[in-house]
Chains A and B, each alone.
Chain A
Amino acid sequence: MDNYLSLFTEYNIAAAFWVNIQLTFWAAIGALALGTVLAMMRISPVRSFAAFGTAYVNIIRNTPLTIILLFGVLALYNQLGFTLSDDFSQNFFNLAVMGLAIYHAAFVCEAIRSGVNTVPVGQAEAARAIGLSFLPAAREVILPQAFRGSVVPLGNVLIALIKNSTVAAVSSVAIEASSVMKTMLEFRGDMIIPIFATFAMGFVVIIIPVGLLTTWLSKKLAVAR
């Protein structure tokens, strides 16, 4: 037992998870903003915008996240000298956030689109029938229902983002969970299974409440039809 507890004094496991939470937080904001814009483009009647949105989703969704994150470090930073911060390690953190946001924006876009699809066409017709023009109809009738309809898929994207933040290891973010776990496994060969169990349970403890919260929210916000 003492041996196990020494893991926590030797390595700062909580700090590692904190980095993943920070990565998730900033990437979630970026992905939500970019994804919402893309979703609006995809459902707009303007062909070129819709085509751009579709192309973005199809390209990004089919690319491994590993390649997107590696591209930020090896191509943008190493080869082109592109930086997002003067601070050396902050730069890698920012590049990882950018990659995570770009990747998950494609899934946010699809989640929001699926929410819009849950709104029956009759709602829009009714909104117009009572004299609302496009913007008020969208604001008062369609979008509130669309966002309620996309709670569960957006929650799934958030859960995936939390787990995928470990891939930031390839962006040279050295102190996040998977990198710290790797170091610990290499130096404490006597405790391989307890180390993995600790990190795995860390993610279980973070992710299960998020899942419960989105299920609860989606039930609370569900539009009875």
Chain B
Amino acid sequence: MSASVLFDTPGPKARRRILLINVIGILLIAGLLFVVVAGLAAKGQMDPELWASLFTSNAWVNFLLPGLLNTLKAAGLGIVLSVTFGLAFGMGLLAQAKALRWFSTIIVEFFRAVPVLLMIVFLNILLARTGMVNGTDSPFWAVVISLMLYNGSVIAELVRSGVRNLPKGQREAGIAIGLTTTQSLRLIEIPQALVAMLPALIGQFVVILKDSALGYIIGFTEFLFFSRTFAAANGNMLQALLLAAAVFIIINFSLGKLAEFVSRRLSSRMPSAKEGANPATDIEAPITPPVAPIDPKV
């Protein structure tokens, strides 16, 4: 509270007033929850039967777990490929050769501007038509490749801004010990940039996981798809969608916490230049983690 620029540290009178508003706030929020639950109950949606069927072994073994497995497979492969793509094109953005830099810029800017869903729909049909992959596999690969192209482009930008934020001396030192600029980039600058970008990178993994749910639209049999199939047979769509959302929230929230933890660890490991008490550690890791860009993707 005292950290907020909008408010003074409250005195005794203001504290009493805040307490009163706080109580009103709690009552309002509790009231809101009550209205929602009572409304659902009035429509028969709180019927235990509708919720219980989601926690049977039939639901999990035959529907939810296979779906979750497909989601995790697509997201996992998407993460690996995005990081590879991001490193390759991140180096391209930083390359000395002008042609390579231009090429990488066009690729990165293009795939960041095109909606992921558009790529998924297009690739699904392209892959199936041209027979590049087995027809039943084409939704999976459409999702994975689209995730790679979009998130890889975002990661390439992260790599570039991470390297840009390094002190110039890092490259100069690399060249001084006889490395070429490419070697200095690969051996000295990118590893440091990646460590600094780790929180933002983990944040991007949340985006990949959420985006994998777009596969639902082209019939990729992921978690949401199977949740819906199960709910259609059991007449509990509302409950099933809430459960699906809860599973995504738990996984993504944990990833977000991991990113926060990593960022705290990094900031304690990397003394900021201002403190400068220990020149030795300053030389080792003088990077301030760049601000994670807000990326409100699906």
Contact = CB atoms under 8 A, between A and B. Distances in A.
A214 to B, nearest CB: 12
A169 interface: yes
A128 B294 contact: no
A121 interface: yes
B210 interface: yes
Contact of A62 (B8, B26, B119, B206): B206
B118 interface: yes
A116 B6 contact: yes
Contacts of B40: 80
Contact of B122 (A116, A156, A192): A192
A213 interface: no
Interface stretch (A3-11, A89-97, A202-210, A217-225): A202-210
A58 B126 CA distance: 37
Interface residues of A, number: 70
Given A156-B293, A185-B121, A186-B125, A62 B249 contact: yes
Contacts of A13: none
Contacts, number: 189
Contact of A166 (B4, B115, B242): B115
A67 B245 contact: yes
B251 to A, nearest CB: 8
Given A58-B253, A200-B110, A66 B216 contact: yes
Given A196-B118, A204-B113, A119 B296 contact: no
Nearest to A114: B294
Contact of B213 (A45, A67, A166, A207): A67
26 contacts: A44-B7, A45-B10, A62-B206, A62-B253, A64-B212, A66-B298, A70-B228, A74-B241, A79-B45, A80-B40, A104-B296, A107-B294, A116-B4, A116-B5, A121-B5, A128-B8, A134-B7, A142-B5, A156-B296, A160-B297, A163-B113, A170-B216, A181-B121, A182-B121, A185-B125, A195-B122
Interface of A: 43-49, 52, 58-59, 61-68, 70-71, 74-75, 78-80, 103-104, 106-107, 110-111, 114, 116, 119-121, 123-124, 128, 134, 138, 142, 153, 156-157, 160-161, 163-164, 166-167, 169-170, 177-178, 181-182, 185-186, 189, 192-193, 195-196, 199-200, 203-204, 207-208
Given A182-B121, A200-B118, 9 more contacts: A46-B18, A62-B256, A64-B210, A64-B213, A80-B43, A120-B5, A163-B114, A163-B297, A181-B121
